[in-house]
Amino acid sequence: MIKRGLAFLLAAGMLFGAVGCGKEESQEGTEPASSSGFVEKKVEAVNFDSGVELTDDCKHLIYALGNAPATIDAAKYFKMRIEQESQGTMTVDIYTDNVLGGERELLESCQFGDYDIVLATNATVASFCNDIFCLDIPWLFDNKQQVYEVLDGALGDYLGEQLSEVGFQLLQWQENSFRTLSTTDRPIESMSDLEGLKIRIMENELQLAQWKAYGANPTPMAFTELFTALQQGTVDGQDNGAELTWQSKFCEVQKYYVYTKHIYSPYIILMSQARFNELTPEQQEIVLKVSDEAVAYERERCSEYEAVALENIKNYPGMNYSELSDETVEEMKAACAGIKDLAYTKVEHPEVVDLLYSEVEKAKLKYPDDAVEAQQ
């Protein structure tokens, strides 16, 4: 209960933790030009007003997450719709920028019921539910439609069941986009260019094996240490999505950006199973319904942020943008083909890997990459 008390104290001083919801806001789509002439493009900010007066005995849900803008927008949307659907008997207190702890700490607190809802990346969640490790196999997907088809289908349902066994109620598979690559001192045109590259990775055995297979020198490191490590040359590269790469100002300490799409990493929105079970059936239905709405909103919003981030990266002075050739992609896929076998040893139920590949195959037939590109 100490952590919940701390959260409520923090709420008084936080913009997104306030009981009410602000009215919709907007901002200009561009920033003033810099001395180099570069003009940063922006995604218009949004806020939501539920138009609902909260009841005196309103139930507050603590929702803790990081700083990815699309996920924050989705949390605000979730809050608005919870208030509307519950007619003011439920609301959400939102804590951004990991002020309540890092991902591992948030997950532990959620398991114990200290916090109601938390956001974490799949690589961190895998330490609590080993079957999630299957999502760290690289080069599975060609496009986002394939990802959604798999995560919203039989595989996502199966992983949700496994998460419930370790104290979590799965709410959403949110967009975290495809990982891409940026480097300090070298363009990446072939796999041989990765030889000896000191790249920061998450502390994850499958990601470690992937980069070693390419000939790189992967270094597990906390994300909070990454900018300084790139600046000081402790590492030479990093792999995150375009939006996070731009937001974190890595362009200031990197010269080359490669749109690799080598792995898709989702954000996972989890609720404490204990807290979920304390809700009435009607409240549970509201939470699940609004979660479905929020993930659809977040995915659309994330695509907006990603498109703007890519444009900014391409136009940023001194940054060199490129994409891998088909030949290089095939070379990298072949180099890390053995990671599927490693995944079998890391997951708790090896059949989940077979289910993943079966679902991916069906998704690729439904959403072939060339057909999706033609629609865009």
pLDDT band at 27 (very low <50, low <70, confident <90, very high): very low
Q: How far apart are CA 86 and CA 54, in angstroms?
A: 9
User: Domain extents for the chain?
Assistant: 2-27+45-130+151-175+266-312, 181-264+317-351
The tens digit of pLDDT for each residue in 109-154 reads 999 999 999 999 998 999 999 999 999 999 999 999 999 999 999 9
Mean pLDDT over the full length of the chain: 91
The tens digit of pLDDT for each residue in 271-309 reads 999 999 999 999 999 999 999 999 999 999 999 999 999
Which pLDDT score is estimated for 17? 41
Which pLDDT score is estimated for 271? 98
Q: How far apart are CA 168 and CA 166, in angstroms?
A: 6
Closest CA to 117 of 65, 39, 160, 163: 65
User: Edge to edge, what strands does the sheet with 181-183 contain?
Assistant: 217-220, 198-201, 237-238, 181-183, 256-258, 320-322
Question: How would you class 350 by CB atoms within 10 Å of its CB: exposed for 0-12, middle for 13-18, buried for 19 or more?
Answer: middle
Q: How far apart are CA 279 and CA 275, in angstroms?
A: 7
Topology at the third CATH level for domain 181-264+317-351: D-Maltodextrin-Binding Protein; domain 2 (3.40.190)
Fold match between domain 2-27+45-130+151-175+266-312 and domain 181-264+317-351 = yes
The tens digit of pLDDT for each residue in 342-353 reads 999 999 999 999
Which pLDDT score is estimated for 363? 98
Topology at the third CATH level for domain 2-27+45-130+151-175+266-312: D-Maltodextrin-Binding Protein; domain 2 (3.40.190)
pLDDT at 12 over 50: no
Which pLDDT score is estimated for 158? 98
pLDDT band at 222 (very low <50, low <70, confident <90, very high): confident
pLDDT band at 18 (very low <50, low <70, confident <90, very high): very low
| Cα→Cα distances 80→49, 116, 301, Å | 6, 17, 16
Question: How would you class 242 by CB atoms within 10 Å of its CB: exposed for 0-12, middle for 13-18, buried for 19 or more?
Answer: buried
